[in-house]
Amino acid sequence: MEQLNFSKVVIIMFKQGLSVMYREITYMWRDRGLRNLLLIGPLLGLFLFYATYSAQAIKDIPTAIVCLDRSDTARQLVEDMKNAEYLKVIAYPPNFQDLEELIKNGRVVVGIVIPEDLGQKVALHRQATVLVAVDGSNMIYATNAASAVMTVTHTISARAGINALVSNGINFSQAQEAYQGINIREEPWFNPTLNYAYFLVLALTLNIWQQCCTLVASMNVIGETGRRSWYQIKASGISVFKLFFSKSIVQVTMFMLLVLPIYIISYIFLHIPMHCNFGLLLLFTLAFTLALHSIGTLASSLSHSAIDSIRLGMLIALPSFILSGYTWPMESMPHYLQQAVKILPQTWFFQGINYLTFKNPGPAFIGHYFLILSLTAVTCYGVAAIVTLRK
Amino acid sequence: MPPIIEVKDLLQVIRKKSVFNGVSLEVQAGECFGLFGNKSAGKTALLHILAGIDRFTAGSVRIMGYDIRKTERFKSHLGLVTQERSLFQDLKVCENLDFIAALKKADSQNIRQVVEQLELQSYLNEPVETLDEGVYQRLALACALVNAPKLLLIDELIDGLDFHSYKLIAKAIKNYLSTGGTCLWAFHRVKFSAYMDRIGWLDKGEIIVYRPGELIKEYRNIFQINEKHKLLH
């Protein structure tokens, strides 16, 4: 008889948790704005970012050449620039002022000025200067443009040097050897083609996903305590722990279900590299999800209104990707900022994702990432529980 | 038999403002105790303390013998109808009943009983936010009764309702009391005092307990004195 009563109590207790879970799913599903944001936002981001970086590298950089010299050397230089892999010569302005105008109004990014005495100086084996102007207003464009021009100018410069040595009586092969004494071979690892899509698409999409998750998590506590229905919950006697534990299970499961298609589509359909074990990747994402959810829960327990909580959550989530060191190396940040951003789980997540997807460092290397994310979750959930119990 | 509600020297201070200055009252099992007072006299604040929603500064409150500062066990024997719309607005009528029954660990068979009693059958699939006041209050009472509580706390339930809902609610409360339930009912219109066995008049943080007839008499006295005072000046 006692055993029967005990089983009945257990079933009722379990039912209580299930009812909270069911209501949480109902709430999330019936809130059309939130539902669309969660279901469409990250996937739309994935497709848009993939479309944006589908070229994989910046090619056909619009270039203008001001050629003030009519020598063969100048013609050869123009020809070399035209044949350069990433440059596209689209204009031949007659003077420097016109070139300046073209760069200012954004029609060209690279401007090359060949001086009128180039051929003469090369013939006399004197130092000749060719001006290469790059529009620095767009850093990514400028870096790629400078790199593309450098490849061409290195070759041209070497050729001029060899010619100078030959004219000084050194035979051609010796002159060539002198320039090829040290063969510096660039070999980018993990992303051999320096593909922007591989580097950015998944990270940017995960950034949208983590922002959506923060939005939901930052409503976890205040979404209950800030409503009048909190009276019903408080008067019912359900334990606060059970209530928020059940709600959190739904939210964390939802976050994981949302990230799953992002990984699958990225890997299978968009062929974004994912060198690590898929199980490890999911486990790592789960650790981050818990840490992220705990921060949102803490924000929602500290806030006085839902709007305040969302503001606080977004204040953390929005800049976290930039601060994570994914796009700008953490070592190049001031020391105090490096220490500060290490508190954010996003820093560890984006760094970890980069290691896992490109380098597959193995569980041992990523172990301390798990530890830090878990500590964040335990700390934030703990503080949130203390704050919420006092409400 | 110990009283169902036992409040001793209740002191409540919110933002340095005193809400209760040593309120004491006892409500016996099977009694319908009225809590009368003007708006903002502190009726809702007292009900929220008794329901374990709000904390209090000093004194002691025991519900069914449980010290409410030490345990929440009393909540499983409690039904609450709040003055504000505190049901789950995003859920339907049936979902509210199911959810509140689950929260209170109530037997799901009780749901059918309260639905029939308060004639909510045709509203079960309606969202709560679209219900008119009468149906909403019927549902609020149904949710409060779903766990067959020993103590029912009601905050301003039947004011401004349609006649049909008024009748159903009055009947349901009468039934509840006839089965041995205890009720503490806050109201601010003196005409409702006829429903109560005893009434506590809450004013300026203190409470004085009357029989219904005494309350009406006292109320009229004060009202007439005030009227005369107005006429003289």
* pLDDT value of position A184: 66
* pLDDT value of position B48: 96
In a domain, A257, yes or no: yes
Measured torsion, CA atoms of residues B26, B68, B95, A214, in degrees rounded to the nearest 10: 150
B211, pLDDT greater than 90: no
A312 & A363 share domain: yes
Sign of the torsion formed by the C-alpha atoms of B152, B155, B161 and B163: positive
In a domain, A205, yes or no: yes
Q: Which of A34, A232, A239 to mutate to test the interface with B (most CBs of B within 10 A)?
A: A232
In a domain, A111, yes or no: yes
Distance from CA of B224 to the nearest CA of A (A): 39
* pLDDT value of position A95: 93
Distance from CA of A35 to the nearest CA of B (A): 14
Q: Which of A15, A225, A231 to mutate to test the interface with B (most CBs of B within 10 A)?
A: A231
Average pLDDT over residues B196-219: 86
User: Which of A12, A26, A227 has the CB atom closest to B105's CB atom?
Assistant: A12
In a domain, A247, yes or no: yes
Quote the DSSP letter at residue A105.
T
Distance from CA of A50 to the nearest CA of B (A): 37
B143 forms beta bridges with none
A340 & A204 share domain: yes
Q: Return d(Cα A33, Cα B6) in angstroms, integer.
A: 48
Partners of A28 on chain B (C-beta within 8 Å) are: none
Whether A49 and A204 have beta carbons less than 8 Å apart is answered as: yes
A213 & A285 share domain: yes
Q: The domain spanning residue A128 has which CATH number? A: 3.40.1710.10
- Residue ranges of chain A with per-residue pLDDT less than 50: 1
Q: Return d(Cα A205, Cα A48) in angstroms, integer.
A: 9
Whether A388 and A244 have beta carbons less than 8 Å apart is answered as: yes
pLDDT tens digit string along B26-73? 999 999 999 998 888 899 999 999 999 999 999 999 999 999 999 999
Structure tokens at B85: 């719309």
Q: Which of B50, B83, B90, B145 to mutate to test the interface with A (most CBs of A within 10 A)?
A: B90
Partners of B89 on chain A (C-beta within 8 Å) are: 227, 229
Distance from CA of B229 to the nearest CA of A (A): 41
A178 & A234 share domain: no
A356 & A224 share domain: yes
- CB contact B78 to A (< 8 Å): yes
- Counting one residue from A and one from B, how many pairs have CB atoms under 8 Å apart? 74
Question: Cβ contact (<8 Å) for A231 and B95?
Answer: no
A224 & A164 share domain: no
Q: Return d(Cα A113, Cα A92) in angstroms, integer.
A: 10
In a domain, A11, yes or no: no
Distance from CA of B76 to the nearest CA of A (A): 7
* pLDDT value of position A9: 66
A175 & A219 share domain: no
**Interface residues from chain A to B (CB-CB < 8 Å):** 12-13, 15-16, 18-20, 22-23, 26-27, 30-31, 227-238
Question: Cβ contact (<8 Å) for A235 and B95?
Answer: no
Quote the DSSP letter at residue B199.
E
pLDDT band at B233 (very low <50, low <70, confident <90, very high): low
How many domains, chain A?
Answer: 2
Question: Cβ contact (<8 Å) for A235 and B53?
Answer: yes
Question: Cβ contact (<8 Å) for B103 and A12?
Answer: no
Question: Cβ contact (<8 Å) for B105 and A27?
Answer: no
User: Which of B51, B84, B103 has the CB atom closest to A16's CB atom?
Assistant: B103
* Residue that finishes a domain, picked among A169, A189, A209: A189
Partners of A19 on chain B (C-beta within 8 Å) are: 98-99, 102-103
* Cα A355-A361-A365 angle, rounded to 5 deg: 100
A226 & A153 share domain: no
Distance from CA of A254 to the nearest CA of B (A): 20
In a domain, A3, yes or no: no
Whether B158 and B81 have beta carbons less than 8 Å apart is answered as: no
Length of chain B: 233
Question: Cβ contact (<8 Å) for A23 and B143?
Answer: no
Q: Return d(Cα B96, Cα B103) in angstroms, integer.
A: 10
In a domain, A346, yes or no: yes
Q: Return d(Cα A33, Cα A37) in angstroms, integer.
A: 6
* Residue that finishes a domain, picked among A189, A221, A241: A189
- In chain B, the residue whose alpha carbon lies closest to the alpha carbon of A18 is B102
A177 phi and psi angles, rounded to 5 deg: -60, -40
Question: Cβ contact (<8 Å) for A232 and B143?
Answer: yes
pLDDT tens digit string along B110-168? 999 999 999 999 999 999 999 999 999 999 999 999 999 999 999 987 777 899 999 99
Whether A187 and A179 have beta carbons less than 8 Å apart is answered as: no
In a domain, A69, yes or no: yes
* pLDDT value of position A115: 93
- In chain B, the residue whose alpha carbon lies closest to the alpha carbon of A11 is B105
Q: Return d(Cα A160, Cα A175) in angstroms, integer.
A: 11
Partners of B91 on chain A (C-beta within 8 Å) are: 23, 26
- CB contact B103 to A (< 8 Å): yes
Partners of B52 on chain A (C-beta within 8 Å) are: 234-235, 237
Question: Cβ contact (<8 Å) for B105 and A13?
Answer: yes
B201, pLDDT greater than 70: yes
Q: Return d(Cα A322, Cα A307) in angstroms, integer.
A: 24
Whether B83 and B188 have beta carbons less than 8 Å apart is answered as: no
Distance from CA of B88 to the nearest CA of A (A): 6
Domains of chain B are 5-232 (3.40.50.300)
Partners of A229 on chain B (C-beta within 8 Å) are: 86-89
A152 & A204 share domain: no
Whether A132 and A112 have beta carbons less than 8 Å apart is answered as: yes
A256 & A332 share domain: yes
* Residue that finishes a domain, picked among A189, A213, A234: A189
Question: Cβ contact (<8 Å) for A237 and B51?
Answer: no
A380 & A338 share domain: yes
What does the mean pLDDT of chain B come to?
90
Question: Cβ contact (<8 Å) for A30 and B90?
Answer: yes
- CB contact B206 to A (< 8 Å): no
Q: What is the pTM of this model?
A: 0.85
Its domain, for residue A307, covers 196-390
User: Which of A19, A27, A230 has the CB atom closest to B90's CB atom?
Assistant: A27
* pLDDT value of position A341: 93
Partners of B99 on chain A (C-beta within 8 Å) are: 19, 22-23
* pLDDT value of position A365: 87
A203 & A164 share domain: no
Q: Return d(Cα A166, Cα A168) in angstroms, integer.
A: 5
